[in-house]
């Protein structure tokens, strides 16, 4: 899916450094099925990703639930591998708030300029995190 040979070559270049490899999948048009999302994350991990990441555009609310459900399944199978997942756009914005409850280790917020649809301004995200994650730590 990503070119395992290319990933292996990058990993060889990173060997002995303090740099981690994030293998990322983006679909700006749709959300693959839940099973496909799980498969994508597992393929990234199997290929040697230090961090597995995916972002997809929901067409319906169920797509958002599929991203969260896939995240939870992969988190439970691979508790020590960092995972970053999100559903994009206004419909998917909730994943940026609650993804951590399902196993996503990181989210993205707007500082001065958005880099993807559905990102929440950092000040608003912090307010929400104070309610949803009262013991969270900020980077």
Global pTM? 0.84
Answer yes or no: 136 catalytic.
Answer: no
Domain extent for 25: 4-106
Q: How many residues does the chain have?
A: 139
Please indicate, yes or no, if residue 111 is contained in any of the structural domains: no
pLDDT reported for residue 132: 81
Q: Domain for residue 133, yes or no?
A: no
Mean pLDDT of 95-111: 88
Asked whether residue 124 is assigned to any structural domain, the reply reads no
The number of beta carbons lying within 10 Å of the beta carbon of residue 50 is 15
Q: What is the rounded radius of gyration, in angstroms, for the C-alpha atoms of the chain?
A: 15
- Catalytic member of 26, 30, 60, 136: 26
What's the total number of domains in the chain?
A: 1
In a domain, 121, yes or no: no
- CATH of residue 49's domain is 3.20.20.70
Is 53 designated active site?
yes
Gap between the Cα atoms of 111 and 35, Å rounded: 33
Q: Does the pLDDT value for residue 124 go beyond 70?
A: yes
- The two three-digit tokens of residue 102, written as one number: 């399902």
Query: Residues of the chain with pLDDT > 70: what percent?
Result: 89
- For residue 129, being part of any structural domain is answered with no
Give residue-wise pLDDT tens across range 73-95.
999 999 999 999 999 999 999 99
Instruction: Give yes or no for residue 138 having a pLDDT over 90.
Output: no
> Where residue 16 falls among pLDDT bands split at 50, 70, 90?
confident
């Amino acid at each position: 899916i990503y070119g395992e040979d290319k990933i292996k070559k990058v990993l060889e270049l990173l060997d002995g450094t303090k740099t981690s490899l994030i293998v990322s999948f983006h679909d700006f048009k749709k959300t693959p099925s839940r099973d496909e999302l799980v498969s994508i994350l597992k393929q990234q991990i199997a290929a040697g990703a230090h961090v597995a990441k995916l972002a997809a555009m929901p067409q319906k609310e169920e797509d958002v639930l599929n991203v969260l459900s896939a995240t939870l399944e992969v988190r439970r199978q691979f508790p020590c591998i960092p995972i970053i997942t999100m559903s994009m756009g206004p419909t998917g914005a909730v994943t940026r708030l609650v993804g951590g409850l399902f196993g996503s280790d990181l989210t993205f917020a707007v500082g001065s300029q958005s880099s993807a649809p559905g990102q929440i301004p950092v000040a608003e995200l912090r307010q929400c995190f104070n309610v949803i994650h009262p013991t969270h730590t900020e980077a």
